[in-house]
């Protein structure tokens, strides 16, 4: 078992735990929504995705963002997951990222859809 993200206390008054599948999904969320330079001891950690939200919009930019996000996931989580596809959509003030991946330990395909208000 792993510590759940974000950190909180469960109904028994203990540190909340997460199984392996939930833990990997939490790690994906952390990589996607952390900006490089945000973590003191890991200044390169993150994807820079949130910084792209306010930039110009278009097919070329969207493709570049998808490749950047996929590269960040492979760099930081490549030992745990195999990324198959990444789709990034920004509508109004909501950013939605859909990641299709396989856990390396069992090879099963999973999808994580993460949203963030910006």
Residue 111 structure tokens: 């999808």
Query: Per the confidence metrics, is the pTM higher than 0.85?
Result: no
SS3 assignment, position 37: coil
* Three-class secondary structure of residue 20 per DSSP: helix
DSSP SS3 for 94: strand
pLDDT in tens, 68-104: 889 999 999 999 999 999 988 777 777 788 999 999 9
pLDDT tens digit sequence for 23-77? 999 999 999 989 999 999 999 999 888 776 666 666 666 677 788 889 999 999 9
How many Å apart are CA 56 and CA 58, to the nearest integer? 7
Architecture of domain 2-117: Roll (3.10)
Domain range annotation of the chain: 2-117
């Amino acid at each position: 078992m792993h510590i759940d993200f974000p950190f909180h206390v469960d109904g028994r008054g203990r540190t909340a735990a997460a199984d392996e599948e939930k833990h990997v999904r939490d790690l994906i969320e952390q990589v996607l929504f952390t900006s490089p330079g945000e973590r003191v001891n890991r200044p390169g950690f993150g994807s820079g995705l949130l910084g792209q939200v306010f930039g110009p919009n278009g097919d070329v930019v969207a493709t570049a963002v998808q490749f950047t996000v996929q590269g960040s996931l492979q760099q930081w989580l490549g030992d745990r997951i195999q990324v198959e596809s990444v789709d990034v959509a920004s509508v109004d003030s909501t950013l939605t990222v859909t990641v299709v991946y396989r856990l390396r330990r069992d090879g099963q395909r999973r999808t994580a859809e993460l949203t963030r208000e910006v």
